[in-house]
Amino acid sequence: MVGITSYGAYIPRYRINRNTIYSAMGWLNPATLMPGEKAVANCDEDNISMAVAASLDCLNGLEREKIEGLYLATTTSPYRERQAAGIVATALDLRPEIRTADFTDSIKAGTTALLAACDAIKGGSAKRVIACAADSRLGKAGSAQEEIYGDGAAALLLGDSGVIATLEGSYSVSYDFTDHWRGEEDKFDRTWEDRWIRDVGYTKFIPEAISGLLKKYELSIKDFAKVVYPALYVREHAAIGKGLGADPGQIQQQMLATVGDSGVASPLMMLVAALEDAKPGDKILLASYGNGSDAMFFQVTQEIDKVRDRRGIKGHLALKRELTSYEKYAAFRGTIPIEKGIRGDEIAFTQLSNLWRERRAVLALYGSKCKRCGTPQYPPQRICVRPDCGAIDEMEDYRFSDKKGHLFTYTGDSLAFSTSPPAIYGMIDFEGGGRYNFDLTDCDLDSIKVGMPVEMSFRRKYADPARGIYGYFWKAVPVQA
């Protein structure tokens, strides 16, 4: 029995009301107005950081050393060559003896990664594989894509024991359908006419894959508790379901008005939302879109009740802060150049041999713990920092990324470079010991105070676009009550 053993999701804290975008750019293209809001990655978030966040939600309390593979689906990696899955696996503190791969170049890559992970387990080459998907796609100012695209991530752990939803079957179709594309030098998607994409793309490929699956396994659409698939528009989404003979109650609602179209992550985020509401015995049908479609169906088991404590879609939807400025949104995404000043422009070359040597300290937030006195310390030390101990070379590795902490002191620094000034940083004391200075993110200066609880979040620490290098590290996020 192979299938999903855990799930997690991530939606960035910031949301922008589409009216805010329309108020700024609607003059250019009055037909772009869409209802609701969309999720916006903070200026220190990208596909990699969001994939880590969703995967941490998925791995909550599970043994990370037993994971044997990580597949990351994304179309928005900052690197053309440097595997994003490798960065995510290091941040998650997975062991090095695993298989990692990026699935990319099509927004159906999320389901393809999911299928590949299931195939690896079915084929006996791994027992536990994470499939995660994250995208943060850009639309040009004033484009429909700018209104539609939102940011988000989902992660699913696949395995052959403790399965909460077994994979019962799949059916895929693949077409070289050039509805949107990004060339080698393109920062933004280019698209063909949206009516063609709607009528010849979504409303053909998704039904084709779903019908093919129903026929292959001799099932009826009525057999499913939930049918999960993406679409670009609300009416089109309903029409696809109706065309398949599904009742409105069977159709998993999209998150277009809350998150937006999150590319590769969309179908997996919707699947996580469906699992949050699923009961044992439910059948769930999932279909993706993008150069064809992958359809898969799952059978929910009794084990589902053991993974109810994920933050998931519901939890992340509830944690939100409105981004009221379109200009700030555009600056976060880098679509308008901002004055960085000499502090923002001066970036030394990242010493990659140093980063490699320190990769566990930097990317997985490993420090050390003194075996003699028990004091955790960061960054890793050879000589114990506790003044009345001072033991030499009696350290063991100690992971801080999953430790809660509290804010010992802080400032909001208007002089330091930040894309979202003031730069808020402070000293964090960890539960169980250990202290270091960290940036704070996803918060306002007015809302933080000494002593408040924080948790750690993997973020982009700096960008060195001139050399094509993006640095990642952990930041502290105030825990929402």
The SS3 assignment for 101 reads: strand
For the CB of residue 459, give the shortest distance to another protein in the complex, in Å: 11
Which range binds another protein by CB under 8 A, 29-37, 121-129, 170-178, 341-349?
Answer: 341-349
Radius of gyration of the chain (CA): 23
Q: What phi and psi, each to the nearest 5 degrees, are found at residue 416?
A: -65, 150
Query: Site for another protein (CB under 8 A): which residue of 205, 438, 458, 470?
Result: 438
Structure tokens at 44: 């220190």
Stretch in the footprint of another protein (CB under 8 A) among 71-79, 117-125, 213-221, 438-446: 438-446
* Interface positions, 358-377, toward another protein (CB under 8 A): 358, 361-362, 375, 377
391 Cβ contact partners less than 8 Å away, ≥ 6 residues apart: 370, 371, 372, 373, 383, 384
Site mask for another protein (CB under 8 A), range 135-154, x = bound: --------------------
405 bridge partner residues: 430, 454
- Single residue of 160, 461, 469, 480 touching another protein by CB under 8 A: 461
CA atoms within 13 A on the CB side of 136: 25
Nearest alpha carbon to residue 269 among 396, 164, 146, 132: 132
Q: Is residue 447 within the footprint of another protein (CB under 8 A)? A: no
Sequence-distant (≥ 6) Cβ neighbours of residue 469 within 8 angstroms = 349, 350, 463
- Smallest gap from residue 440 Cβ to another protein (A): 9
Q: Find the distance separating the first CA and the last CA of the chain, reported in whole Å.
A: 39
**Among 439, 442, 456, 463, interactor with another protein by CB under 8 A:** 439
Distance CA 82, CA 78 (A): 9
Q: Does 423 bind another protein (CB under 8 A)?
A: yes
Q: Within 10 A of 331 (CB to CB), how many other CB atoms are there?
A: 16
Four-residue CA torsion sign, 402, 276, 135, 418 = negative
C-alpha–C-alpha distance, residues 258 and 422, integer Å? 28
Nearest CB to another protein, comparing residues 325 and 414: 414
- Rank residues 247 and 345 by Cβ distance to another protein and give the closer one: 345
Q: Which among 371, 347, 377, 385 is positioned nearest to 468, based on CA atoms?
A: 347
Q: Which of residues 374-393 bind another protein (CB under 8 A)?
A: 375, 377-379, 381, 385-387
CA distances to 42, 43, 442, 444, 459 from 344, rounded to whole Å, are: 17, 14, 20, 21, 17
Contact between 218 and another protein by CB under 8 A: the answer reads: no
Which of 82, 190 has the CB closer to another protein? Answer: 82
100 contacts another protein (rule: CB under 8 A): no
What single-letter DSSP state applies at residue 43? T
Number of residues in contact with another protein under rule CB under 8 A: 50
Q: Is 202 one of the binding residues for another protein (CB under 8 A)?
A: no
Instruction: Identify the residue among 427, 453, 455, 469 touching another protein (CB under 8 A).
Output: 427
* Contacting residue, 7, 205, 332, 410, with another protein by CB under 8 A: 410
In the complex, what is the shortest distance from the CB of residue 266 to another protein, in angstroms, rounded to a whole number?
33
Q: How far is the CB of 43 from another protein (least distance, A)?
A: 13
Binding window for another protein (CB under 8 A); candidates: 21-29, 125-133, 261-269, 423-431 = 423-431
**Shortest Å distance, C-beta 376 to another protein:** 10
Q: Does 170 bind another protein (CB under 8 A)?
A: no
Give the nearer residue to another protein in terms of CB position, either 209 or 407. 407
Beta strand 321-322 pairing with 14-17: parallel
Question: What residues make contact with another protein under the rule CB under 8 A?
Answer: 342-343, 346, 348, 350-351, 354-355, 358, 361-362, 375, 377-379, 381, 385-387, 408-418, 422-423, 425-427, 429, 433-439, 445, 450-451, 461-462, 471, 473
